[in-house]
A and B are shown apart, each in its own frame.
Chain A
Amino acid sequence: MATNQDTDLQGLTTTDSSEGVKTQEMLLNLGPQHPSTHGVLRLIMTLEGETITGCTPVIGYLHRGLEKILENRTIMAGIRYMDNSDYLSPMLNETAYVGAVEQLMGMEPPRRAQYIRLLTNELQRIASHLVGIGTYGMDLGASTPILWAFRDREGILSLFEALGGSRFNVNYMRVGGVLHDFPKDWLKECETFLDTLEKNMKEMDALLSGNEIFMSRTQGVGYIDPQQALAYGLTGPMLRASGVNWDLRVNRPYMAYREVPVNTYVRQEGDCYARYYVRLQEITESIRLCRVAIDKMPGGAISTRTPIALRPPRGESYFAVESSKGELGVYLISDGSEYPWRAKLRGPSFINLQIVPELMRGHKMSDAIAILGSTDIVLGEVDR
């Protein structure tokens, strides 16, 4: 949120060319209410003609003090607030939070619960990537992908509704397991949906990936080299699109990922198109993982018995899951009471947004939206 309009204005330079034409840098304000910012993000850009010379993101419009809220709620009540962090992938947020608590308590959920978590996490990843791809197409002027993507996402939300009773804020994960077992025929429906989705994703690939306008607007735009990507702490598809093979599901496997191997897709180009394509391929991989989870779904309990007044021992733990946007970490400190002493969320969107000014510098104005859309940020997680 912090910005000083005066210093921003003072930074503008005026140049007189030899022909007597006076040019001045222009200040352009984008947002906070703008369809292509995917939330309440404000970008203050300095333009020289059509070229962006500087960009200052102003965030905090959606700040709800989530970390303070979590400190003031019991751990059980806090799980629900994790849904609001990255509101496109609530299942993943909850997994990170309960994972941190379980790690602190030194407990392991039953195998069935781990596989249910894997299945729901991968479905959520598909849903999040579908939104990312669909809205990215819309940002660049293609109006069909968003309709197709939201149609497919609807299937996942319906599955979640049958599973947890809610479409978005599912509140499904529990410390030591999950809330409900599958309803009757849920897995069969899920398999049917995955078949449809796989067919639809092939159509999406044919529609968007080879589209000449889409390619020319994204290829070679917003290049990040691997060293820069690591230095800026990028994770998730943004890092893998820059040629760094880093995925927490593979490199620091947790829960059922220790048993289910994950294939990562890496692109070397590091441009907007690569980031889009990595997301598209990850949907295919997630479909495969869902099928594996359904095939290997073990029987048994879905949850271990945990006390109602959950008091983790004194101590600290940092637990991170591979969210759809990158590393979603929770740093939890407990003082031995029902309330966490400190719960820090490491949101991938927050850090992935940091590189945007670097990417935009030197590009044309029309590329700004292409670059911003390719980062696939969620402002709920940026501002927390």
Chain B
Amino acid sequence: MDLVPRSKNIPSATTGYRDQNAALARDLAPIAQITGTPVVTQLQKGDYLGFEVAREHLVAVCRFLRDQLGFDLLSSNSGVDMLDHLESVYHIRSTTRNQLLQLKVRLSSESPEVDSVVSVWPTANWFERETYDMYGIRFSGHPDLRRMLLDDDFEGHPLLKNFHQVPLTVKPRATTQIDPNMAVSGQYQQQNMERVVQKKLGQGQQERLHPGTPTFGHANEAAQRDANVHESTESGQSTRDKNATTDEKA
């Protein structure tokens, strides 16, 4: 057990990390030789620097940061959907300089592709797989770009803003969950089961009704109507009674 004394580089209450950030901004200047344009750093909320980098220079800049400036710990990589474009954001820490840095790469929404930084930080492997999973950003040069958290046959990238969302005002129910009086109708269940099997994850916009439409827990109003007819003929119930209960629910 080694008891290590407390670190002395706690920021002062008045200046914060101002001096360290200024030193870092000076050290970042040589990146202009890689990218050809001067680095424009921006002070982020939380007292750390951030800058944007063109996607073709990303790996070279990252290698410079790791080898020359000692940014040895990739804290996170996150995709962001800004509607007109996608972003891949890297938060990098340096354990020797004791600093945090934010790198941002702007990508097009149509074909988001960026070079992988696995060769610089091996920890980027799973980060990039997750970003690919959630945003569909392709990381070229990644050794094993597969889905991370979702199934292989999942369609779509769920954290994109245009991905199908269930509106908050309507409580969604599982498609197999039906009313008890519907459950007695075997034929309806069969139809419903078939529909569930055919349905792929991430789809379903076509069948979805307007959020305000009362569906009584059924996504498919037509199937419900069919089941009503079926049940009334089987059990000999009058259709008028059936309609009355439906109106009551509405």
Interface residues of A toward B: which range? 35 or more
B146 part of interface (Cβ distance < 8 Å): yes
Chain B 142-177: CB-based contact to A (< 8 A → 1; otherwise 0): 000011111110000011000001001000000000
Q: Is B75 a contact partner of A316 (Cβ separation < 8 A)?
A: no
Chain A 228-262 near chain B by CB (<8 Å), digits 1 or 0:
00111101000000001110001111000010011
Contacts of A51 in B (CB 8 A): none
Query: Is A263's beta carbon under 8 Å from chain B?
Result: yes
B152 in contact with A333 (CB, 8 Å): no
A18-26, A165-173, A346-354 - the one binding chain B: A346-354
CA distance A65 to B98 in the complex (A): 32
Question: With an 8 A cutoff between CB atoms, is B81 at the interface?
Answer: yes
Which of these, B2, B48, B100, contacts A267 with CB under 8 Å? B2
Would you call A265 an interface residue if the criterion is a C-beta within 8 Å of the partner chain's C-beta atoms? Answer: yes
**Least Cβ–Cβ distance between A384 and chain B, in angstroms:** 7
- Give chain B interface residues in 130-145, CB to chain A under 8 Å: 130, 133-134
User: Can you identify 29 A-B contacts, CB atoms within 8 angstroms?
Assistant: A1-B151, A3-B146, A63-B149, A63-B150, A67-B134, A68-B159, A72-B165, A103-B45, A230-B73, A232-B122, A233-B75, A233-B122, A233-B123, A244-B95, A246-B73, A252-B98, A253-B10, A258-B10, A263-B5, A265-B4, A317-B46, A318-B48, A318-B76, A320-B75, A333-B80, A342-B78, A346-B75, A346-B91, A354-B126
Which residue numbers of B lie inside 8 Å of A, CB to CB?
1-7, 9-11, 13, 44-46, 48, 72-76, 78, 80-81, 89, 91, 95, 98, 100, 102, 121-123, 125-127, 129-130, 133-134, 146-152, 158-159, 165, 168
Which 5 pairs show the lowest CB-CB distances between chains A and B? Answer: A233-B123, A344-B78, A346-B76, A60-B149, A2-B147
Interface residues, chain A, with chain B CB atoms under 8 Å away: 1-4, 59-60, 63, 65, 67-68, 71-72, 103-104, 106, 230-233, 235, 244-246, 250-253, 258, 261-268, 277, 281, 315-320, 327, 329, 331, 333, 341-342, 344, 346, 350-351, 354, 383-384
